[in-house]
Amino acid sequence: MLDRLHSLIPRLSSRRSIPLQPLQSEFVRITLELFDFLRTEWGYRSEVTGAGSFEITVLFKAKNVGVEIMLADEGWIIPKIIPLRNGKMPAWFDSSLRDLYTGFPLEDFFEFIDPTWKRPEHRRIESPEDIDDELRGYAEQLRKHGQPLLRGDRAVFDRMEDQMRHGLIVIYLKNWTRFVERVRSGFDGPFTEYIAGIIERSQLESVLKIWKGNRANDPVQEIQRIDNIFDDCTEPLRWGAGRNIMLPSPNARRWWRRPKWLTGSLREYFLVHGQTKT
């Protein structure tokens, strides 16, 4: 048996890698050229991942900092700074499947240190010229102002996490408020959209409870007020009960409730699949 396994290893390891698409190849080439100073001046290592997939990523990394440039499936370029631990990428979730902090957009740092900086207009990437136009400004600004960031200054990373935490709380609370108002007035969307609203509330909780930052101005009372409205117009469901039930992640269990007044496809789904607590 072991001999058979060993005989497979050369064949598996020698398989040819899936080639990049032409635009993906240009993206990798241009990114490595524009950000080459990370390797030559800062000693960062580079790696390319995603060959054969719809998202290609060029990652420059040191011991505690990663500069990630992604070409997403939709044709958008997404530059991001990632806090690393001994060169390893952070986890997306903790053991309770709560969302963890995984970094921030590079443009957020630029806007923080240089209010006059204007980020390149985000547009769909269709040519090598588009790639160069979008990334050149990021590379030049990072080389000019990125020293504290690239050396992993803890104070800078803490400040950026606090800034991102605050921004996400504002966004998640606004979306949660709109969702609860829809539930109170008679939710008319599909079940998947309802679950998405529940998940977003759990994401708000993760940012509130486990992300680092100044909690003095957290809108705790406003969040509680909206939660109370949601509780008043819904009834709790038995977690995991029902036939073929779709569930949000376990950290959303607190908000796993259905509207007291069911309408449309939501009514049909919950009457067939969901079970309320007795």
Kindly give the parts of the chain with pLDDT less than 50: 1-16
Give pLDDT, residue 32: 97
For position 245, what pLDDT does the model report?
A: 65
pTM > 0.85: no
- Residue 10's pLDDT is 34
Q: How far apart are CA 63 and CA 112, in angstroms?
A: 24
Task: State the Cα angle at 115 between 80 and 57, rounded to 5°.
Answer: 10
Best CA proximity match to 202, nearest among 172, 231, 228: 172
Q: How do residues 148-166 score in pLDDT, each as one tens digit?
A: 999 999 999 999 999 999 9
Predicted pLDDT at 56: 92
- Among 37, 39, 36, smallest CA distance to 28 is for 36
Q: Are residues 110 and 120 in contact, defined by beta-carbon separation less than 8 angstroms?
A: no
Q: What is the pLDDT of residue 248?
A: 76
pLDDT at 156: 93
Neighbours of 19 (CB within 10 A): 10
State residue 274's pLDDT score. 62
pLDDT the model gives residue 14: 35
In this prediction, residue 278 carries a pLDDT of: 53
| CA–centroid distance for 167 within its chain | 14
**In angstroms, what CA-CA distances link 143 with 34, 139, 146, 261, 270?**
10, 6, 6, 57, 55
Q: Which of 64, 60, 63 is nearest to 28 (CA)?
A: 60
